Amino acid sequence: MHLMTPENNHNTAVVFDFGGVLIGWDPFLLYGPYFNRDRAAVQRFLDEIGFAEWNALQDAGRPFAEGEAELTARFPQHAALIRAYRERFEETITGPIQGSVEILRALKRQGRTLFGLSNWAVETFQRIRPNYPFLDLLETIVLSGEVGLIKPDPRIFQLLLERTGRAAGDCLLIDDSAANIAAAAALGFQTVRFESPEQLKHELVRRGLLSPNGTGH
């Protein structure tokens, strides 16, 4: 992929993932106290119940009540812990990833078009969104739970393009998932796999999408 320059990137829209890029999320914060704050033990529990696959179904639009009924039927001994995820979801959120939010605001100040594309269940997203007003800087948000599609399914990327009237090559996706980055790149998106706010800023400056002093540090 060629390096964007100030001459050919002025129309490039920046597309932000949410969890792990703009907002921190860590189920250990909720489940740690139940397992003596042993992260490995929490991970064994999550693996045992197939948490990642189960959670993805809610992200793709399945109601939590249905998901909880299905999972507690298979793991009745963990029913309280399974229900705790939805009931106390806010405890899994670490808060805004400040460096990324500063980049988001700087891009907006510089006139950059901004979109959001996130795998997130509607019920839990609606509960936390009021805490993150910077999401209002995004002109269009495609949320997996609302549209019934989930990254890395190519159709959710195509839906974003349809809703925004953009071509894939005119969009740069920032995401922390290698699978999502690969799927977007295959469709022609510019991509940056997120590792840290510092790495992201470096990449955006290198590509001419952010001025070097854009975030004020």
Query: Can you tell me the mean pLDDT for 41-60?
Result: 98
The model's confidence at residue 147, banded by pLDDT at 50, 70 and 90, is very high
Q: Which of 46, 66, 92 is the last residue of a domain?
A: 92
Task: Please check whether residues 52 and 158 belong to one and the same domain.
Answer: no
Who's near 24: CB < 8 A, 6+ residues apart?
A: 93, 94, 95, 96, 97
Task: Please check whether residues 144 and 168 belong to one and the same domain.
Answer: yes
For residue 116, give the 3-state DSSP assignment: strand
Distance CA 108, CA 193 (A): 20
When divided into structural domains, the chain yields a total of 2
Task: Please check whether residues 66 and 112 belong to one and the same domain.
Answer: no
Residue 212 forms part of a structural domain: no
The model's confidence at residue 217, banded by pLDDT at 50, 70 and 90, is very low
- Verify cis geometry, omega within 30 degrees of 0, for the bond prior to 197: no
Task: Please check whether residues 101 and 202 belong to one and the same domain.
Answer: yes
pLDDT at 81 over 70: yes
pLDDT score for 69: 98
Q: Which of 46, 61, 92 is the last residue of a domain?
A: 92
pLDDT at 3 over 50: no
Range of the domain at 63: 28-92
Task: Please check whether residues 160 and 122 belong to one and the same domain.
Answer: yes
Find tokens 């999401």 and name the residue: 135
Residue 145 forms part of a structural domain: yes
Task: Please check whether residues 44 and 17 belong to one and the same domain.
Answer: no
Find the angle CA(27)-CA(35)-CA(58) to the nearest 5 degrees.
30
Task: Please check whether residues 54 and 118 belong to one and the same domain.
Answer: no
Residue 217 forms part of a structural domain: no
The CATH number assigned to the domain holding 146 equals 3.40.50.1000
Task: Please check whether residues 60 and 112 belong to one and the same domain.
Answer: no
The model's confidence at residue 214, banded by pLDDT at 50, 70 and 90, is low
Task: Please check whether residues 134 and 33 belong to one and the same domain.
Answer: no
Q: Which of 72, 92, 112 is the last residue of a domain?
A: 92
| In the chain, % of residues over pLDDT 90 | 92
Q: Are 192 and 107 in contact (CB under 8 A)?
A: no
Task: Please check whether residues 128 and 55 belong to one and the same domain.
Answer: no
Distance CA 117, CA 180 (A): 11
The model's confidence at residue 6, banded by pLDDT at 50, 70 and 90, is very low
